[in-house]
Structure 1
Amino acid sequence: MDDDARQQAYADFNEAVNMAPAALETFLDSEDSKRVGWKGEDGKGSGESVGHKSGKRIIEIKRTKKADLTDDDYAHMKKVVGYVHRHLAQGGPAEDKEHSDWRYSLMNWGHDPCK
């Protein structure tokens, strides 16, 4: 990834992720966070969701100095931006967005649509 692509990924990530690391960390500890999201191929809903794992990685990235970010970090940033944009485009529920699985899923990925 060249410098221009890194700069763009960094800017897009920081626009998409509107939760501070401490707020995201607090949310990831909640039952709502752990309850939502895709949990794998087994269909049993066991284990940690993809979004929950991503949230942990987002916290690490946000707490890392820009100069120390790796290509893997930038790849994850792009994945986060893609997810947030796709999920927002779907639109949330007509009523009670604040307490919806749609919002909680986005929050696992570091974006609170109610902010």
Structure 2
Amino acid sequence: MADALEMDALWEDFHRVVNMTSAELAAWLRVRDADEDAEPLPEEAGTPTGQHVLAILQKRRTDLTDDDIRVMYRVVDRVSDLADVENEPEPESSPEDTRRRHQLMTLGHDPLKP
């Protein structure tokens, strides 16, 4: 497990890049997986990583597992790769921008959210 300073930095980085609330992320994961005929059960909606991010958002820092910490590092890295979190993109202008936004939202980051 990471030391206290490393955990502080990871906790801050994770909550900086994951700018959606747990309710927003849960709703997005359900909408993302819904089709014309059915909507998945809340605990089954979304990708495994999206579900794990949702679970982390609902935890206190002291309750994190080693697996949670690995996912947090992976999410921070992935969101940083997909979006410049410090300088959010211009509003969506193409299908590629929409696809990228949806990938980010599955990780809990909405690039259009202030």
| Structure 1: distance between partners of 2:90 and 2:77 | 17
User: Which string of whole-angstrom CA distances, capped at 9 and with x for unpartnered residues, describes residues 47-86 of structure 1?
Assistant: x9xx722111011001011111112211111100000000
Secondary structure at 2:47 match in 1: helix
Pairing of 1:55-70 with structure 2 (within 5 A): 55-70=50-65
Residue by residue over 1:2-54, the C-alpha shift from the partner in whole angstroms, topping out at 9 and shown as x without a partner, is 11111111110000000000110000011xx349xxxxxxxxxxxx9xx7221
Whether 1:71 aligns to 2:69 is no
Is this contact kept in 2: 1:34–1:52, CA < 8 A? no
Report the Cα distance in structure 2 between the residues aligned to 1:105 and 1:19, rounded to whole angstroms.
13
| Structure 2 SS opposite 1:100 | helix
CA RMSD, aligned part only? Answer: 2.6
Structure 2 gaps of 5+ residues are: 35-43
**If the length of structure 2 is used for normalisation, what is the TM-score?**
0.74
Shift of 1:102: 0.9
Query: TM (normalized to structure 1)?
Result: 0.74
Q: Is the 8 A contact 2:82 2:104 kept in 1?
A: yes
Amino acid at match of 2:104: L
Amino acid of the residue matched to residue 25 of structure 2? L
Aligned-partner residue type, residue 21 of structure 2: A
Distance of 1:94 and 1:28 partners within structure 2 = 20
Q: Aligned with 2:83: secondary structure?
A: helix
Give the AA of the match of 2:69: Y
- Secondary structure at the aligned position of 1:29 is classed as helix
Distance 2:59 2:92 in 1: 37
* Equivalent residue number for residue 102 of structure 1: 100
Q: Tell me the equivalent position of 1:43.
A: none
The amino acid that maps onto 1:5 is E
Q: Does 1:53 align with 2:48?
A: yes
8 Å CA contact 1:28–1:34 kept in 2: the answer is yes
Figure out how many residues of one structure are paired with residues of the other and give that number.
97
